[in-house]
Amino acid sequence: MEFTKESGKILTVLLAVLFGVYAVTQILGEVNLIVSVISLTFGLVAIIWTYMAKQSLSKGTMLREYVVYFFYSLVLIFLLSILDLVTGLFRLEGVLISIRYFLLILAYVIFFLAANKIFHLGKQFGFKPQVKRMKLKNVGKKLKLSKKK
């Protein structure tokens, strides 16, 4: 696995979030609440970006359909996170557990449907044989050499 500029950015963001969570938990002491709020923040941003991506795609395209599946799954996971936060804050574990399981199962069903559609799309267009003939590793090396010249 090659360490690229993009993977460096991802690692930096991950470390910053981890150190931030650690610092806040040391100051406030309420780990579950802090992690829940951070998760909700990332979930909300993911929902907003997915909605914007959906709006930018043409109606009736397969890619837009996949984004819709992804959007609904994100919304269900976001609702599950809200439910977990409320359950933890107000100690309502007994009543809301069936709702939690329902949301989780529904999110997995939607992910399953999206994965199934993507699988059939791959089989329909048969990308695998073309990729084997491409020799992608050599293409990347050629691009790096051409940049140095």
Instruction: Give the per-residue pLDDT at 149.
Output: 45
85-118 burial: b if 16+ Cβ within 10 Å, else e: bebeeeeeeeeeeeeeeebeeebeebbeebeeee
Average pLDDT over residues 117-140: 66
pLDDT band of 134, cuts 50, 70, 90: low
Average pLDDT over residues 115-120: 86
Euclidean distance between CA atoms 85 and 10, whole angstroms: 27
The distance of Cα 149 from the centroid of its chain, to the nearest Å, equals 38
Euclidean distance between CA atoms 64 and 73, whole angstroms: 14
Query: Range with the lowest mean pLDDT among 66-70, 93-97, 116-120, 145-149?
Result: 145-149
This prediction's pTM: 0.67
How many other CB atoms are found less than 10 A from the CB of residue 18?
Answer: 10
Instruction: Give the per-residue pLDDT at 133.
Output: 61
Q: Is the pLDDT of residue 71 over 90?
A: yes
Q: Is the pLDDT of residue 126 over 80?
A: no
